[in-house]
Amino acid sequence: MDIIAARNLAVGYDTSRVLSGLDFDIPEVRITAVVGTSGCGKSTLLKTLAGLLPPLEGELFFGAERVDFQSEASLASLYHGIGVLYQNGALLNNLGLFENVALPVRMHHPDMPEAVLREMVHDRLAQVDLLDSAAKFPSELSGGMRKRGALARALVLDPAVVLCDEPSGGLDPITSNHLDDLLLKIRETFRTTFVVVTHELRSIEKIADRVLVLREGRLHFSGTLAEVLASEDAFVRTFFHRKADHDDA
């Protein structure tokens, strides 16, 4: 069962088309990695999947529903189904970590009893190993902690899909590995679907079930991790094995 589907999708900005002719499906309870060279449009695609940037062309489906970017109700329905982990976490700097994680609950369920809310937030912070830092402000957290805090916030209302923009970006290998373990654990426990934009080959090999390879404004390759790793396509080989064609000679 696919939870997100793109049909002939073109994404970009008023003045420039970044990607076009995209046709892909994101399967449920799987981790799909979106890869490609720098500037190929991975983050732009993620913005469209997150409902922040209307497509220039084509259609995006979330579950069975077509996302209508002109309709506030349709976008609200999309927003309720997704969580987004931004590159820098994007925690609100004027709120402490606890309040950042509590924010979606407070906004959408203002009548939630405070005791239950505290329990919800504590559970999420414990899952990302940040319970001891609940009272800290984002400025007092390291990059890895901010990302884990943002992940806790993205997960607090149990979204069906979490979109992650370079979760390992700027993190050391140990922290990055820890974050990968966390995504796998969350996927197993809560059956969450992840779409992960990343450059980290080790991370892709560890967590990805499916891979979308973007190149020169198009979807160049799409398949399972095993298919991607076994691919004879020159670009895919270059990307995943850091190996150009002439190296084989």
Partner 1 sequence: MDENGASTVSLPRQLRVGDIPAAFREIRARREEGPVTVDFRDVEEFDSSSLAFLSYLRGCAADVRVANVGPKLEASFEAFLGGTPAPSCEVPEPGFDVRVLHPLSDRFLDRMRRLGRFFVLLSDEIYHTGAYLKERKGVYPGEVWNQLFFMGYKSFPITCILIFIIGVTLALTSATQLKLYGADIYLADLIGYGMVRELVPLMAGVILAGKVGAAVAAELSTMSVLEEVDALKTMAVVPEKFLMVPRLIAMTLAVPLLVALADVVGITGGVIVGRMSLGILPSAFLREMKTAVDLGDFFIGLAKSVVFGWAIIVASGYKGLTVGRSAGEVGRATTDSVVLSVTLIILIDCVFALITY
Footprint of partner 1 (CB under 8 A)? 47, 50-52, 76, 79-80, 82-84, 86-88, 90-95, 103-104, 106-108, 110, 150, 153
For the CB of residue 81, give the shortest distance to partner 1 in the complex, in Å: 10
**For the range 225-234, what are the long-range contacts, defined as Cβ-Cβ under 8 Å and sequence gap of 24 or more?**
229/205
Nearer to partner 1, 9 or 91 (CB): 91
For the CB of residue 106, give the shortest distance to partner 1 in the complex, in Å: 7
**Strands lying side by side in the sheet with 31-36:** 82-85, 161-165, 193-197, 31-36, 210-215, 218-224
For the CB of residue 226, give the shortest distance to partner 1 in the complex, in Å: 32
Distance between CA atoms of residues 49 and 241, nearest Å:
28
Nearer to partner 1, 60 or 219 (CB): 60
For the CB of residue 130, give the shortest distance to partner 1 in the complex, in Å: 17
Which residues, including other chains, have CB under 8 Å from residue 88's CB and lie 6 or more apart?
Answer: 143, 146
CB 156 within 8 A of CB 121: yes
For the CB of residue 183, give the shortest distance to partner 1 in the complex, in Å: 18
Nearer to partner 1, 114 or 232 (CB): 114
Nearer to partner 1, 110 or 248 (CB): 110
* The pairing of beta strand 210-215 with beta strand 57-62: unpaired
Nearer to partner 1, 56 or 103 (CB): 103
- Give the number of C-alpha atoms closer than 13 A to the C-alpha of residue 155, restricted to the C-beta side: 27
* The pairing of beta strand 210-215 with beta strand 193-197: unpaired
